[in-house]
């Protein structure tokens, strides 16, 4: 899948091994929520995780426990 852009990265766990993002993929009419990790089975998931950790989509917000 071709990534057009991603935004709003936030750690999805306290171990900082999963990141939630809002992503726009080529061919989709709207932005989609996406959870990325370094050991994703899909290459676009691994790519999004690495690019987010590198700061390409802005600072990754801290993990927050939802109550």
Where along the chain do its domains lie?
1-27+34-67
Distances (CA, A) of 30 to 26, 27, 58: 10, 9, 20
The pLDDT of residue 15 is above 90: yes
The pLDDT of residue 10 is above 80: yes
The DSSP code for 60 is P
**Tokens standing for residue 46:** 């691994």
SS3 state at 28: coil
SS3 state at 35: strand
The DSSP code for 12 is S
pLDDT computed for residue 66 by the predictor: 72
pLDDT computed for residue 14 by the predictor: 93
Locate the DSSP E strands across the chain: 3-11, 18-25, 32-37
């Amino acid at each position: 899948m071709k990534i057009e852009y991603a935004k709003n990265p936030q750690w999805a766990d306290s171990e900082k091994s999963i990141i939630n993002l809002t992503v726009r993929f080529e061919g989709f009419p709207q932005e989609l929520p996406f959870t990325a990790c370094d050991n994703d089975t899909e290459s676009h998931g691994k790519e999004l995780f690495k690019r987010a950790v590198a700061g390409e989509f802005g600072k990754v917000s801290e993990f927050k426990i939802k109550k």
